[in-house]
Amino acid sequence: MVRNVLSIILVIMLASSCKRDVEQQKVVSPDPTATDSLELVKRADSLKKAGYSVFTYEEGGEQYLMQEYYMVQLLTGENDSLPKEEITRLQTEHLKHLSRMYEEGFASLIGPMNNGGEWRGIVVFNTPTLQMADSLANLDPYVKSGVMKVKTTGWWTAKEGKLR
């Protein structure tokens, strides 16, 4: 049942992200002085001013805006002796927290792992700093209760890239 709820939430999040009117992350422009190139540089400058780590580069005539996101590993914690009722309550609060992080734009990708091992899930945060992503991850009710713990690291990818 928990897996079904998480799957539904993930599908809703992915569907809503597809509906959003986002700027193109890849700009094809053989002329480096073209307007698209200038717009890419402006976006990079704006993100830098907001505290994000970004850079632009060109490869094969295509220009890219890269941003550092923060991947949070949700790992099995030390507190695994809670009653089932408490775990059920925490699961509901955990899903609310993750949905809020997504809706407020802090999280870009969220999902559970399917192996049942130490890794319980991942959250990719879109925040200016690792410290902010880590702080938001540590607000998760599962983490606060000790059922899960987090490990946060930087991860570079094209700004507003798409999964394939």
- Work out the angle at residue 103's Cα, subtended by the Cα atoms of residues 98 and 104, and round it to the nearest 5 degrees: 100
pLDDT at 163: 73
Domain that holds residue 52: 22-66
Q: What does DSSP assign to residue 88?
A: H
Chain segment 73-115, per-residue pLDDT in tens:
999 999 878 999 999 999 999 999 999 999 999 999 999 998 8
The tally of domains found in the chain comes to 2
Chain segment 8-58, per-residue pLDDT in tens:
444 344 334 433 333 333 333 333 444 588 889 999 999 999 999 999 988
Query: Does 88 share its domain with 27?
Result: no
Query: Does 89 share its domain with 117?
Result: yes
Task: Please indicate, yes or no, if residue 40 is contained in any of the structural domains.
Answer: yes
Task: Please indicate, yes or no, if residue 163 is contained in any of the structural domains.
Answer: no
Task: Please indicate, yes or no, if residue 44 is contained in any of the structural domains.
Answer: yes
pTM of the complete model beyond 0.95: no
Query: Does 129 share its domain with 118?
Result: yes
Query: Does 136 share its domain with 154?
Result: yes
Query: Does 47 share its domain with 76?
Result: no
pLDDT at 36: 80
